[in-house]
Amino acid sequence: MSSRARWAATAAALTLGAALAAPPANAEPAATAAPAISLSAGEHALIRFRLPDQATLDRLVASGADLAARPRTDSGAVLADLVVDDAQLRTLTASGAVPVQLIERESDAAARKPAGITRLQADTLQFLQAYWWTTNGKTFLQTQVATTATDDPDVEITVTWKTADGTTGTYPLVRFEDSGEYQYHYALPQPLPGKPVTVTASSSLGGTSRAVTPATWPGATPPPTPAGYQKDFIAAYMTPADIAARIKRLARQYPKLVDVINLPNKTQGYRRNAVAYLGDPAVAAVVVESVKFGDQSMNGVQVRTVDPGAPNRALSASYADRVLTVRLATDGAGKTISTTDDVAAFISAKYPQRFRAVVETGSAGLPMPVVAPVRLDDGLKGTEVSQKPWTVQALRIGKVRDGSKIGVLAYSQEHAREWATPLVTLELAERLLANYATDPATRELVDNVDVFVVPTVNPDGANYSFNDFNFQRKNLVNHCTGANRDPRYRDSWGVDLNRNYTVGSYFDGYVGGNANCLSGTYAGTAELSEAESSNVIALASAHPNIRFAMNVHSYGGYFMWPPGSYKAEGRVTLPRPTIDESKFFLDSARRIVGAIAAERGTVTWPAYTGPVADVLYSAAGNSADQLYYELGIDAWDFEVGNDRWNEATQEWEGVGFQPPFDEAHAEAQEYAGGLVELVRVAKNAQDQAGS
């Protein structure tokens, strides 16, 4: 209801028998209370009124009156400052409210403006994106608009669309800032009744854009697959052991087309140090941890504290028969006097090659209790998982595998919890190999492109995600020290491998990595400190014919390329690709996004297509940046698992890292199609270079 309508409703209520029908008996006549105050037609003013009682004020507040300051009581009446127009002034006066002061008129403001300010300047608006598409019979529109009023956080922008039959509609955009810098106004894709033919934008400052005709997205369609084309080789989520078995089978099945490459740096393996609380963490405890991993004969080792039962004993310890016995110090009366700090320091100093110990958080300086034997254990639940160091493997697929053909690298599961991503890269491998003998188009690709596939970059983290903590993002290497090695933090240990590379890294001052070992984006102790990230670069460096790469992540439905990071102050990104390179990235993206959409109509949004730093966030030290800036590889990133439109709720809904397998299976099929198109992009580039 408008302000004027609310006032009208209030006036009606008062007229129909409110307490203000007549002034109270002890009220002064309005004529003697204050000089007459009047307003011209349509004029607004700030006026102080004397109201007869609190109930009157309550009715005004409930009606939506424009109350300008806190009311106060004066001799039993209520004084209230209200912004009113001429009609509202008459309504209040007729109802018994007495205007006692004209504080300021609307017209007063003009004379009080600072010199040089005459009117609000309209801003200039420009569409950065205006795309439409149809998926599953539904039409969507997505737009981005930039305003020249970049420093005004209150600018409101509205988009108006029109379809061919004359139907129109509007929707608001929201302001997007990144690292404190204005980027644009945007909205999620909007459902429309048909193809939009024009869009315009207008702002609350009076700016209006020129009319724009939205373009179709992605505007590219892959060549059709022939009858009998084989696909759908994925039947379930796959653990690292499953993936290793699939690699072995493919090498055995297609010996003339496949090499298996053992990457040079073995990972830690699915291993943790064995650990136990010596004491009660709720009262007083020391965390005792084996220096070696639990599987190295340290799981099951016992540790205890004892009272020596004699006065004036020094703190001591012995280790025999896999039992560490700590004898607490005593005073002259035979009472134990060792603290938690004493015990932790003593164990670490006496057995530096076997044990380390820290005081459990909250237990510092407390008396060390006598504790019955407790068993050290690595806490890992995957009883069927090998705990030996892991050799990460790559499939090399091609008729000619001597480096003379252009190379494509597809790698996945840098982040352990992204279970669907190895399904995408393995589906690619299976399609290239299974269709080689029967499909001429596939044969042409395999004969002319050298394809490298690393299904799981991070096998240790993946094993932990499958068996212990499904949201594990990082690897299993624990660089934490001191109290951060407390087992309560076990699901936060590890290095984010996609923050561990050398270009635009956290160590160089870029945004998106972290020095906190418990952070989800912990960058490690140094650039390429981890075996897993070093393997990716070693593979690419050893095969300089690799000119294209795709890093497969989940989820969200993004398609991205460098730059992937920026420095916070001024939001300064890594150097931008040239105009020609940027065009190639986008043109290739349209082809690949079109191939993804061909499977089940899934469309990667135009707003989610572009440089990582622009469409997602700054990811300091990511692998695509190193491949692109240091090795000259055109490097892209997938985020599989696009949001799904819910027609019933009219909302976009996320799918997650480990969706029901039917969804993961569909993601594997559509994004494998995108990877096949990437291989085709590579072949086209080689053809053009040779022409």
Smallest CA-to-CA distance from 265 within 479, 467, 517, 497 is with: 497
d(CA 256, CA 638): 30
Q: What are phi and psi of 32, to 5 degrees?
A: -95, -10
d(CA 309, CA 582): 78
Q: Give the active site residue among 418, 427, 532, 639.
A: 639
d(CA 238, CA 220): 32
Residue 423: in which H helix or E strand, if any?
A: helix 421-434
Contact criterion met (CB below 8 Å) for 503 and 630 = yes
Query: Active-site residue 181, yes or no?
Result: no
Bridge partners of 216, per DSSP, are: 132
Alpha carbon distances (Å) from 521 to 18, 244, 478, 570, 611: 64, 27, 14, 22, 20
d(CA 53, CA 68): 18
Residue labelled with tokens 């990457």: 263
| Residue 647, amino acid | E
Contact criterion met (CB below 8 Å) for 610 and 183 = no
- Three-class DSSP labels, 247-287: HHHHHHHCCCCEEEEECCCCCCCCCCEEEEEEEECCCEEEE
- Three-class DSSP labels, 511-571: ECEECCCCCCCECCCCCCCCHHHHHHHHHHHHCCCEEEEEEEEEEECEEEECCCCEECCCC
d(CA 641, CA 623): 20
Residues 6+ apart with CB under 8 A from 234: 423, 426, 427, 665, 668, 669
Q: SS3 for 138?
A: strand
Contact criterion met (CB below 8 Å) for 200 and 159 = yes
Q: SS3 for 103?
A: strand
Contact criterion met (CB below 8 Å) for 550 and 409 = yes
Residue labelled with tokens 């005709």: 213
d(CA 450, CA 467): 35
d(CA 582, CA 575): 12
Q: Catalytic positions, please?
A: 639
